[in-house]
A = this chain, B = another copy of it.
Amino acid sequence: MTLEKLFAPGSVAVIGASRTPGKVGYDILKNLVESGFGGPIVPVNPAGGEILGQKVYKRLADYDQTVDLVVIVLPSQLVLEAAREAVAKGAGGVVVISAGFKEVGDEGRKREKELADIVRRGGARMLGPNCLGLINTATHLNASFAGRMPEPGSIAVFSQSGALCTAMLDMAAQRHLGLSKLVSIGNKADITEVDLLRALADDEDTSVIVGYLEDISSGDHFVKAAERACLKKPVILLKSGTTAAGRKAAASHTGVLAGAETAYGAAFKRSGVCRADTFDALFDYATALDMQPLPRGKRVLIITNAGGPGTMAADAVEKIGLEVAVLDRNTTTALRARLPASASVGNPVDVLGDADPDRYVAALEAAQEDESVDAILVLLTPQAMTKPVETARAIAASLDGSKPVLASFMGGKDVLPGRQELAAAGLPDYESPERAVSALKAMYDYNVWRRRPPRQVTRYPVNRRRVERIISRRQRTGQLQLSEVKSKDILKAYGFHIMDGSLAGSVNEAIEIARFIGFPVAMKIVSPNIIHKTDLGGVRLGLSSAQEVEDAYDLMMLRISKQVPDAVIEGVYVEKMADPGLEVIIGMTRDPQFGPMLMFGLGGIFVEVMKDVTFHLAPITREEAVQMLKSTRSYEMLKGKRGRKEVDIDAIAGSLQRISQLTTDFPQIIELDINPLIVGEIGTVPTAADARMTLAPAKNIPSPR
């Protein structure tokens, strides 16, 4: 682990140790002493003396050995000096418990920056400030002021909220869950979620990572670290808080449609993170992923001692997108032989209200052997003959580890001893069938992500130089809204098909161009001051004669001059009409954290009324692009509907990949819409019929991903 000195220090000092119970400086020392930490513990307090049987040093410098980890519990004004002492003493890890930094305003923010600099220059890593500390059960280290030491186990927990740290610790205690580490990351001045994802991914004591986050420090690093971690072990995150900042002013459809949480959703999906939507779900999922193997597929068998709960569970399985398994004939035969005649051997398998542990075992054994079952859900209700404890023991003893088995012992007081037995035996147990099914779904989704094909991003041959020239010229002149014509120039350089067309400066020129490229044509106003051309009557389609072109030109000029008298008109773009086809919209908006987010949706009402769009982080693979199309509600339209033939889905995926390449190559592009992209039947090339881009100001170019 890269955070070795924090998690496995040889010695620990507490600067600000106190002799007053109830003070944080006392609680931390007490936790350190009582957790059974093996190395020297060095309390520091100007008063000296002895606390909890440990000799107190007046200054850290007075201790004659080096110290690996230094915990600082002082008023914020004194923290910087203490940090200097810590690094002077050779500490590799510093934990700053004290508050009074970034969270209290500008002065605190400055102090926090200084603190981080001191620690970094000293070659150490720092947790906090404004945190609860950390716990490592493997090294018996409790360098926190949490109220309890967790049981050892393999779930690692980190949290941006110290309060949730304690709540999770308390919940783990109640559920008898063992933890490997607990880390309160506080203000994240040095160590962030990215460092922890990296360290915990490599931590052999940890099999599941659970985290609570309110923001993410670096989107790019986060995605990379999370993806790397998810390849090794499941990562479950609860992300709260909505930050709509900076999105309101979007000029593109794509920008407007990207909600505040869209980027986080896309980042989690990309990197394989299992997102918990509720506090309950964090440990519901963690327990299952920690204790049980992943399901190979989505077919669930339900074993129950009552019909009602079985039906409820089957409802939940179908609602969440898993399947009720159809048992193999051999299994039903085996079940019939081992269960009473009136038992139901379908799915749910009903072992009846008077079921003893043996019947549960019979059903479980048969289900474990059945190749058409991927996961098993065992339900128990407390009836007259029910023996929750014995049943729990018998079930636990019959697990062969071949597929996940989850339980829901429903009820309260009477089933509690059975539930505790399950927990002790490593069998995840839930208060309701629905929660067990949600956990199964999380396991299934994680396995699907794990087994996805290797990501391979296509690189198309493009004319990158041409785009560079256009962009740098525009950034120099400050014309950051690209017109349709300029946007299409860029798209053309990246392999998009654009209809023939040219800019006309007069009505005669327009007619001439139309005759040259051939009717029917479209005409669109070109002006840096006009973004929403259609709204102002600046777009005319399907003009099929010189007369129509002339009429349209004159009318357009008349209208525009009335409505936007100050607009600088560069001319009118005359373009050959594209063949009719299905109109889709593809776009990109750049998230401040996660970089380019691609969007796909069907055009017209699907986008405008139904908001039926999907997002994905760039760069994107072909499979991911196709998945984007499939995850819209209107996907059916692409497959042919209402008398229209199937459109070329691969061609749309290709267009998304090209936009992915363009916006990854050019961080200067901050928004882009192709609306519509007109898509034809299989084998045809889509046409970018209208386009719009926004560039970042020259000085403010986001760094490339």
Contacts and interface: CB of A to CB of B under 8 A. Distances in A.
A325 to B, nearest CB: 17
A345 B57 CA distance: 42
B161 A307 contact: yes
B432 A278 contact: yes
Contacts of A163: 305-309, 353, 381, 383
Interface string A238-267: 101110000000000000000000000000
A570 to B, nearest CB: 26
Work out how many copies of this chain go into the complex. Answer: 2
Interface string A526-567: 000000000000000000000000000000000000000000
Interface stretch (A169-177, A188-196, A477-485, A661-669): A169-177
A634 B608 contact: no
A199 to B, nearest CB: 22
Interface residues of A, number: 75
A460 interface: no
Interface string A122-149: 0000000000000000000000010110
B309 A148 contact: no
Nearest to A633: B610
Given A242-B315, A382-B147, A609-B637, A309 B171 contact: no
Interface in A302-334: 305-309, 311-312, 315-316, 318
Nearest to A169: B411
A172 B166 CA distance: 28
A465 interface: no
A604 interface: yes
| From A214, A412, A413, A610, residue with most partner B Cβ within 10 Å | A412
A384 interface: yes
Nearest to A432: B279
B240 A308 contact: yes
Interface string A402-419: 000000001111111000
Contacts of A642: 604-605, 608
Contacts of A172: 412
Given A145-B384, A308-B240, A167 B634 contact: no
A22 B415 CA distance: 18
A666 to B, nearest CB: 33
Contacts of A412: 170-175
Given A280-B435, A315-B240, A410 B309 contact: no
A145 B168 CA distance: 39
Contacts of A416: 174
Interface in A386-432: 410-416, 431-432
Contacts of A612: 610
A9 interface: no
A619 interface: no
A534 to B, nearest CB: 9
A660 interface: no
Nearest to A434: B278
A232 to B, nearest CB: 27
Contacts of A316: 278
Contacts of A308: 159-161, 163-164, 212, 214, 240
A432 B171 CA distance: 11
A272 interface: no
A89 to B, nearest CB: 27
A468 interface: no
A145 B386 CA distance: 13
A164 B410 CA distance: 8
B411 A637 contact: no
A433 interface: yes
| From A168, A171, A277, residue with most partner B Cβ within 10 Å | A171
Given A163-B383, A414-B148, A637-B605, A312 B173 contact: no
A104 interface: yes
Given A412-B175, A414-B147, A164 B636 contact: no
Contacts of A606: 605
A162 B353 CA distance: 9
Contacts of A164: 306, 308-309, 381, 410
A460 to B, nearest CB: 32
Nearest to A431: B280
Given A104-B342, A280-B435, A240 B311 contact: yes
A641 interface: yes
B238 A312 contact: yes
B605 A161 contact: no
Nearest to A535: B643
B432 A280 contact: yes
A279 B164 CA distance: 26
Interface in A579-626: 604-606, 608-610, 612
A24 interface: yes
A290 interface: no
B167 A410 contact: yes
Contacts of A306: 161-164
Nearest to A353: B163
A123 to B, nearest CB: 32
A238 B410 CA distance: 15
Contact of A384 (B24, B342, B410, B609): B24
A214 to B, nearest CB: 7
Given A279-B312, A610-B610, A636-B609, A382 B174 contact: no
A423 to B, nearest CB: 12
30 contacts: A24-B384, A145-B384, A148-B414, A161-B308, A161-B309, A162-B306, A163-B306, A164-B410, A166-B414, A167-B381, A167-B411, A168-B411, A170-B412, A171-B411, A172-B412, A214-B308, A240-B311, A241-B311, A278-B435, A280-B435, A604-B642, A605-B634, A605-B637, A605-B641, A608-B641, A608-B642, A609-B633, A609-B637, A609-B641, A610-B634
Given A167-B411, A278-B432, 16 more contacts: A104-B342, A148-B413, A161-B308, A162-B383, A163-B306, A163-B381, A166-B381, A166-B414, A170-B411, A171-B412, A172-B412, A173-B412, A214-B308, A279-B309, A605-B641, A609-B633
Q: Which 10 A-B pairs have the closest CB atoms?
A: A174-B412, A163-B306, A161-B308, A170-B411, A163-B381, A279-B432, A278-B434, A167-B410, A171-B412, A167-B411
